[in-house]
Every structure is written in structure tokens, then in C-alpha cells.
Amino acid sequence: MLRVLKRTPYFVTNVQSRIKLPEKFKGTIIEKWTNYWKNLFIDYRQMFQDLRTDIQDDPRKALIWTTGITTLYALAKNNPNEIDFKDIMKRVTNDVILVSEDCRNPKSIEHLRYIQKCYNEGVIHYRSLGIISFMYTCEINDSCDLYKAHCSYLKPSYSSLFSRMVDVGFMGKWWNTYIKTTNYDVNM
């Protein structure tokens, strides 16, 4: 990889020296456009040279940065979305239905019914922050046109955010649903 980074600036310089603009394009937008791209290539050439020297000077720092960026990319790639939430809710509900009522865990059933009620009322919402996702509820449906829906003084406060949180999605899993429905067939 270092050899490729070492050869790249020279390759870009050779390409720039071979490209000549005809006289009829001097002073036109085409000349400005080619100058823009030449300067962009120069900037990237300098960036690759700096990157190469930084990697050679401090390989630990480069390893830490590479590991951090790769981890963030993997977390963002595995961030669950609302479709995943609906899918897991359907799967768990189908599994719970197959268990007799005497054996079902009441906490799991209560959680599933609450989420189904929120979907029926249209008060459950999804929000993604890139590497973590949230399912939360609000008091009023979005299509509701009551005074309470428009008054800024009646909006929920930020302190009530955690009480309105239904589930947290991280690393490809919806954790609250997983915790509450793991033992759905154990009546406690």
C-alpha cells in the first residue's frame, strides 16, 4: 500500500505535464475548468505525500485512526432501521402466539401489546443517529390537528425523552425488545 501511495504523486505530475490546452480555449470557461482540476490534483498529490509521511512517522496513530474509522463504518452499516424493528416485532409476536397463554411471560406480552397499540395510534416514531437508532413515542398522532399539537408550551420536554423511549437499536439489534422478549415462554 505504501508503494502505491509513493507512486501516486508522480503519476499525477506526469499526467499534468502531458495535457496541454489549445490556444482557442485560452481565457474561456474550459481553461478555468482545467485549472480547477489541475489544482485539485495538486492538492490531492500533496495530501497523499503528507499521508505517506504521517503513516511512516507514527504508525500507531495511523493504526488507531484506521481502527476507529473502520469501527464507526461497521457500526453505521449494521445500524437497524424501522423495517428491522417491525420485522423483529412480527417474528417475536408469531413466536409468542405459538406458546400457550399459561406459559407466556406477562412482561413480554405487555411490551408487545404496548408497541402494537402505539403503531395503531400512529404515535411511534423512528430516529437514526448514524450508529444508533431510537424508537420513541409522542402523545399525539402527526395527523392530529388539535391545539395541543401546535402549542409550543404543551410540547414534551427533553427531560421526558427517556420515559418516551421504546427501544434502542445498536449493532444490528433492538435491545429493549431483545431483553424483554428473550424469555417470552417463561411465566414468572
Predicted confidence at residue 184, as pLDDT, reads: 80
Residue-wise pLDDT tens digits, 87-109: 999 999 999 889 888 888 888 88
- What count of other Cβ atoms lies within 10 Å of the Cβ of residue 13? 13
As a residue count, the chain comes to 188
> Do both 169 and 94 map to the same domain?
yes
Residue-wise pLDDT tens digits, 129-188: 999 999 999 877 777 667 666 677 667 777 777 888 899 999 989 999 898 888 887 776
> Do both 12 and 93 map to the same domain?
no
Is 77 part of a structural domain of the chain? no
Domain with 42, as residue range(s), is: 2-57
Is 132 part of a structural domain of the chain? yes
Q: At what angle do helices 106-121 and 82-97 cross, to 10 degrees?
A: 130
Predicted confidence at residue 29, as pLDDT, reads: 83
Q: How far apart are CA 126 and CA 84, in angstroms?
A: 11
Predicted confidence at residue 126, as pLDDT, reads: 92
Q: How many CA atoms lie within 13 A of 166 on its CB side?
A: 23
> Do both 53 and 86 map to the same domain?
no
Predicted confidence at residue 64, as pLDDT, reads: 92
Scan for cell 506526469, then name that residue.
Answer: 14
Q: Mean pLDDT in the chain?
A: 83
Predicted confidence at residue 165, as pLDDT, reads: 87
Q: How far apart are CA 134 and CA 136, in angstroms?
A: 6
> Do both 115 and 39 map to the same domain?
no
